[in-house]
Amino acid sequence: MILIGLTGSLATGKSTVSTILHSPPYSLPIIDADLLAHRALLPGTLGYSRILSYFGPSTPDLLQPLSPDAPLGTGPNATRPINRAALGRRVFGSSDAKRRDREKLNSIVHPLVRMAMVRELVWYFVRGWWAVVLDVPLLYESGLDIFVSVVLMVGVSSPAVQMARLRERDQGLSKGEAEDRVGSQMGVEEKVGRTRARGERRGKVVMNDGDRGDLEREVGRVIGEVGGEGGGRAWGWWLMGSPVGVVGVSGWEVWSGWRARKRWEEERRRERARL
Ligand SMILES: CC(C)(COP(=O)(O)OP(=O)(O)OC[C@H]1O[C@@H](n2cnc3c(N)ncnc32)[C@H](O)[C@@H]1O)[C@@H](O)C(=O)NCCC(=O)NCCS
Ligand SMILES: Nc1ncnc2c1ncn2[C@@H]1O[C@H](COP(=O)(O)OP(=O)(O)OP(=O)(O)O)[C@@H](O)[C@H]1O
C-alpha cells in the first residue's frame, strides 16, 4: 500500500485536493488528521479530560456555554464540549506563552491522533487498498513525513491569496487571529523546499494558484505519476501479498524519508553559514 502524505499550509487547498482524491476516478480513502484531532477532544475521551485539567484552570471559556434549558451538571450541561475557538486563542500566536501552550496541546493530541491513524491504516491495508491518503496539515512539523511514501504538498505562491481564501472561508476569524494561525505553522516556502528535497519520485508540489480546474489537472498529473499508469497500483497490491516485502519496503521508505530530511537540514545549515 502506498501512503500519500497530503500536506500544505493553512487554506492552501488540502481539503479541496482530498475531496478530489476521494471522488472518482481516484476514489482513494482519506485519513483526515483534523477530523481525528476533533474526535480526540470529544467529551468523555482521554484527550478531553487532559485538556480540561491543563487548560481549564487558566481558561474560563474553555467549555462551550451552559445550556439555559438543562439543569447544571446534567444532560448537555454534564458533557459540555470544548470551546475550540477559545482553545485556539490560547495556542495560536508567536509569543513564548502561546508556543508553550501549543506544544502542550500537541503533546496531548498528537499521540492520540497517531494511534487512531495506525488503526485506520491497518483497516485499509487489510481491505486491500493500493494507496491511502493521509491528510495531515502538520506532516513536517510532527515528523510524520518520514513514514509516507510520497508527500503531496499543496501550496499557494501569494501569502495575500492564502489569507484572502482563509478569511473568506472562516468568516468568524479576525485578521489578527488568521495571522496568528498562519504564523503558527511552518511557512509554504519551507514546506516546498522540504518536499523538493525528497526528490522527484517521493515529493510532489502542487501550486494552487489557478482555479479549481487547474488544481484538478495538477492532481491528475501527480496521481498519474504516483500510480504510474497502473505500475504503482500493481506495486501496492504486490506488497499486500508479501509481509516480508511490507517490512522491507517500509524500512526503506522511512530511511529514504529520514535521509531527505537530513539533506534538507544540511542544505539549510550551509545556506545560513553563507549569509
Ligand atoms: C486548537 C484547536 C482546538 C482549534 O480548533 P479549530 O476547530 O478552530 O481548528 P481546526 O482543528 O479545524 O484546525 C484548522 C487548522 O489549524 C491548523 N492547526 C491546528 N492545530 C495546530 C497546531 N497545533 N499548530 C499549528 N497549526 C495547527 C491546521 O492547519 C488545521 O488544519 C484545534 O486546532 C486543535 O485541537 N489542534 C491541535 C491538534 C492538531 O495539531 N491538529 C492538526 C492536525 S494533527
Ligand atoms: N483554486 C482555488 N481557487 C479559489 N478558491 C479556492 C481554490 N482552492 C481552494 N479554494 C478555497 O480556499 C479555501 C481553502 O481551501 P481548503 O479548505 O481546501 O484549504 P485547506 O488547506 O484544507 O485549509 P485548512 O488548512 O484550514 O484545513 C476554501 O474555501 C476553498 O474552497
CATH number, domain containing residue 59: 3.40.50.300
The whole-number pLDDT of residue 198 equals 93
pTM of the model: 0.90
Please report, to the nearest 10 degrees, the dihedral formed by the alpha carbons of residues 133, 138, 139, 141 taken in order. 180
Residues 118 and 156 in one domain: no
For ligand 2, residues with CB inside 6 Å are 8, 10-16, 137, 165, 169, 208, 211-212, 215
The string of pLDDT tens digits covering residues 145-169 is 999 999 999 999 999 999 999 999 9
* Residue 32 confidence (pLDDT): 97
Examine the domain organization and report whether 116 and 145 are in the same domain: no
Are 10 and 39 members of one domain?
no
How much is the pLDDT for 218? 96
Model confidence at 1, pLDDT cuts 50, 70, 90, reads confident
Predicted confidence (pLDDT) per residue in 217-243, tens digit: 999 999 999 885 555 666 666 766 777
73 falls in which pLDDT band (50, 70, 90)? low
Same domain, 122 and 137: no
Q: Average pLDDT for residues 42-57, to the nearest whole number? A: 95
| ipTM score for this prediction | 0.94
% residues pLDDT > 90 (the chain): 72
CA dihedral (102, 104, 105, 110) in degrees, to 10, reads 110
Q: What is the pLDDT of residue 128?
A: 86
Atom of ligand 1 nearest to the CA of 184: 25
Same structural domain for residues 22 and 135? yes
CA 106, CA 5: separation in Å to the nearest integer? 19
Q: Which of 128, 147, 172 is the last residue of a domain?
A: 128
Using CA atoms, how far apart are residues 8 and 122, in angstroms rounded to an integer?
A: 25
Number of H helices, E strands in the chain: 11, 5
Instruction: Note whether 153 and 265 are same-domain residues.
Output: yes
Q: Which domain holds residue 160?
A: 1-29+130-275
**Structural domains counted in the chain:** 2
**pLDDT at 149 (0 to 100):** 93
Buried b or exposed e, range 100-138, using 16+ CB within 10 angstroms = ebeebbbebbbebbeebbeebbeebbeeebbbbbbbbbb
| 99 in the same domain as 19 | no
55 & 188 share domain: no
> 92 CA to middle of ligand 1, Å?
9
Helix 243-274 vs helix 188-196: angle between axes, to the nearest 10 degrees? 120
Same domain, 101 and 234: no
176 and 149 within one domain: yes
Closest CA to 182 of 160, 197, 203, 204: 160
Integer Cα distance of 250 and 157 in angstroms: 33
Residues in a beta bridge with 135:
6, 32
Of 101, 128, 155, which residue is a domain's last?
A: 128
Domain boundary among 69, 97, 128: 128
Beta-strand runs (E) in the chain: 2-8, 30-32, 131-135, 150-155, 203-207
Confidence of residue 116 (pLDDT cuts 50, 70, 90): very high
Same domain, 167 and 202: yes
**For residues 78 and 66, what is the distance between their CA atoms, to the nearest angstrom?**
9
Q: Are 144 and 134 in contact (CB under 8 A)?
A: yes
Task: Please check the confidence at residue 196 and state whether its pLDDT lies above 90.
Answer: yes
Percent of the chain with pLDDT over 70: 93
pLDDT score, position 237: 66
User: All 3 cell numbers of residue 125?
Assistant: 491495508
The pLDDT score that the predictor gives to residue 221 is 94
Question: Ligand 1 pocket test: which of 91, 99, 156 has the largest number of ligand atoms within 8 Å of its C-beta?
Answer: 91
